Amino acid sequence: MTGREAGRKVRQMMKVSVEVRKGSAHFWVAVQAESIRRAVNLVRAKYQDAEIRVKFPIEPESFSIEGPAARAALVESDHPKEMSV
């Protein structure tokens, strides 16, 4: 969803936690994206051979993010060294 705020383009984004699991390695990644599907696809692209799951319930206060020049990205991760790419 896009709109205008003070003459600047504003994008509505969401922040979700995604679980990444590969073998015995297991960690969570915070992802900011336009949709849950896009968030999962971003994580899947980075960790191609891993099992990916969205953490539910999604916290309402961090779910919706609005701001100029917001973009989809992995925000933070607590992944172990053996899963680094």
Query: Within 10 Å of residue 52's Cβ, how many Cβ atoms?
Result: 19
Q: What local confidence, expressed as pLDDT, does residue 1 receive?
A: 45
Write down the domain spans for the chain.
2-78
pLDDT score at 78: 64
3-class DSSP state of 36 = helix
Contact by Cβ (8 Å): 78, 28: yes
pTM above 0.85, yes or no: no
Give the chain's largest Cα–Cα span.
49
Query: Which whole-number Å values give the CA distances from 84 to 20, 48, 64, 66, 77, in the listed order?
Result: 12, 12, 28, 30, 10
Under a CB-based contact definition with an 8 Å cutoff, are residues 30 and 40 in contact?
no
**Percent of the chain, pLDDT > 70?**
55
